[in-house]
Structure 1
Amino acid sequence: MIGPYVNGAALLLGSVAGTFIGAKLNSNIRLKMPMVFGCSSMGLGVVMIVKVKFLAPVVLALVMGSLFGEIIQLEKLIQKVAGSARTWVERFVPPADTISQEEFLDKFVALLVLFSLSGTGIYGSMSEGMTGDPTLLIVKSILDLFTAPIFASTMGAAVGLLVIPQFVVQCTLYLGATLILPLATPDMLADFSACGGLIMLATGFRICGIKQFPVAGMIPALLLVMPFSWLWAAFVG
């Protein structure tokens, strides 16, 4: 297992670098580059969405998963943990630039999806688990190495804490790949990709400040979409 470690190191290194060079970073870069990353997220989302095989179960999973996420208030829970983490980290490493708690929490949730649940990370982890090839995760590591400093320059070292959920997700997918993939049909994987793409598209809108989609609350949809896709293919499609 190489990819999850490389990706985690890249995110952590980028976050630390961004924290210390934040004050020296050009303000235009800090303001405009997140919009570029948001646009990239939307582009990746579109590429993933067009792979869809059965649209109905994807939409159903997204709706029911998001409803469940709102019922349990998943986003508020993540924000609460993020707020506590920020307070703890800033005791040791004060941020180079201070942003409001509301803006911090809003961005933190979007970055959680961007770093931990992106299509590249998901498929890269599963691919390495099945083939032993870490190429996709290494490519993601290069992107994260340049993305993390931009956000850490304003949000502080707390961005580096995202390495924890990222590593957990990637290791889980890596270890579970040999169990998941043999049970998944190509159509199920395509619909899983489409569901993740919709969440990535919503994340891009949120990062760019266009629309504040509840992206954290949409995460449970990823657990529902493959079973729904299988049921649809078996009884309807």
Structure 2
Amino acid sequence: MPIGVTINVLSVVFGGIVGTLMGNKLPARIKDNLTLIFGVCAIGMGIVAIDMMKFMPAVILAVVLGTIFGFIIDLNKWITTGALSLQKPIAMWMKHGHTKLSDDNVTAALVTIVVLFCASGSGIYGSIDAGMTGDSTILISKSILDFFTAVIFACNLGIVVSMVAIPQFIIFGALALSAQLIFPLTTPDMIGDFKACGGFLLLATGFRMTKIKEFPVADMIPAMVIVMPISWIWANWIVPLITF
């Protein structure tokens, strides 16, 4: 199991514990502004990743086609539905704690953290990247953001936030292990384009977090599945045709 997955999971666990201990002591001003800082960090991570791009047309094509496919299958809805299913067993732990939030607000908050920690573009990208290349930079960077995000949510929801680490470990672990099987079939150029594609998702995530634009990040996720095949096709079929 890549170390990045373990670190990311532990960041949520300990963030939930710290937030529970803090309770309502964290000022709202800090909570609101930290989210903006998280967004700026995501944008910076995305810029660095995009710089690894080898075949720009292939990556752009993958992002566009992948997003279109995401819209067609309504991936965002499927992810939300999955998050709703996961939050139900997690919500049972709320019976052992207390919160001032209404039941509807608790459900909405739990769905939000399940999506953030278990199905975010950065998490999926980071897990696959760590599995294929052994580079956990994205996941470790994400862990820093997740720790403080968990603290913020746990101030209201309590220790239940730490429980989200269980499905997170299962999902990210499965992605990382599956990616290890794919790696022998890849080339350095394909890996570079994959990282760049993930960078675009990180940029979109950052823009959402800073409230610049509500990009459909969930619907963009299929781009990471098709970017490497498109990169290979571009390198082996298209480049020879356009190179003189």
The partner residue of 1:124 within 125, 130, 137 is: 130
Aligned residues: 232
> Any idea what SS the aligned residue of 1:236 has?
helix
Letter of the 1:233 counterpart = A
Equivalent residues in 2 for 1:72-87 (5 A)? 72-83=73-84, 85-86=86-87
Letter of the 2:12 counterpart = L
Tell me: CA distance 1:61–1:114, structure 2 relative to 1, closer, same or farther (3 Å). Answer: closer
Distance in 2 of aligned mates of 1:185 and 1:195:
15
Q: Specify the alignment match of 2:26 in structure 1.
A: 25
Tell me: CA distance 1:138–1:42, structure 2 relative to 1, closer, same or farther (3 Å). Answer: closer
By how many angstroms is 1:122 displaced?
4.0
Q: Answer with 175-184 or 52-61: which moved more.
A: 175-184
* Conservation of the 8 A alpha-carbon contact between 2:130 and 2:136: yes
Distance in 2 of aligned mates of 1:100 and 1:139:
29
What's the CA shift string for 1:130-184, capped at 9, x where partnerless? xxx8787566545533342134435665654553454234323443454322211
* Conservation of the 8 A alpha-carbon contact between 1:97 and 1:156: no
Distance in 2 of aligned mates of 1:115 and 1:140:
7
Q: Specify the alignment match of 1:163 in structure 2.
A: 165
* Conservation of the 8 A alpha-carbon contact between 2:55 and 2:193: yes
* Conservation of the 8 A alpha-carbon contact between 1:19 and 1:95: no
Q: Specify the alignment match of 1:113 in structure 2.
A: 120
Equivalent residues in 2 for 1:115-194 (5 A)? 116-119=123-126, 121-128=127-134, 141-154=143-156, 159-160=161-162, 162-164=164-166, 166-194=168-196
Distance in 1 of aligned mates of 2:220 and 2:138:
24
Letter of the 1:72 counterpart = I
Distance in 2 of aligned mates of 1:92 and 1:140:
29
- Structure 1 stretches of 5 or more lacking a match? none
Larger Rg: 2
By how many angstroms is 1:115 displaced?
6.0
> Any idea what SS the aligned residue of 1:210 has?
coil
* Conservation of the 8 A alpha-carbon contact between 1:23 and 1:96: no
Distance in 2 of aligned mates of 1:153 and 1:59:
40
By how many angstroms is 1:123 displaced?
3.1
Q: Specify the alignment match of 2:237 in structure 1.
A: 235
Distance in 1 of aligned mates of 2:160 and 2:74:
22
TM-score of the aligned structures, taking structure 1 as reference length = 0.80
* Conservation of the 8 A alpha-carbon contact between 1:96 and 1:153: no
- Structure 2 stretches of 5 or more lacking a match? 240-244
By how many angstroms is 1:230 displaced?
0.3
TM-score of the aligned structures, taking structure 2 as reference length = 0.78
RMSD, matched Cα:
3.2
Tell me: CA distance 1:173–1:147, structure 2 relative to 1, closer, same or farther (3 Å). Answer: same
* Conservation of the 8 A alpha-carbon contact between 2:86 and 2:114: no
Tell me: CA distance 1:70–1:190, structure 2 relative to 1, closer, same or farther (3 Å). Answer: same
Distance in 2 of aligned mates of 1:182 and 1:55:
23
Letter of the 2:198 counterpart = G
Q: Answer with 163-172 or 96-105: which moved more.
A: 96-105
Tell me: CA distance 1:223–1:56, structure 2 relative to 1, closer, same or farther (3 Å). Answer: same
Tell me: CA distance 1:15–1:202, structure 2 relative to 1, closer, same or farther (3 Å). Answer: same
Letter of the 1:113 counterpart = S
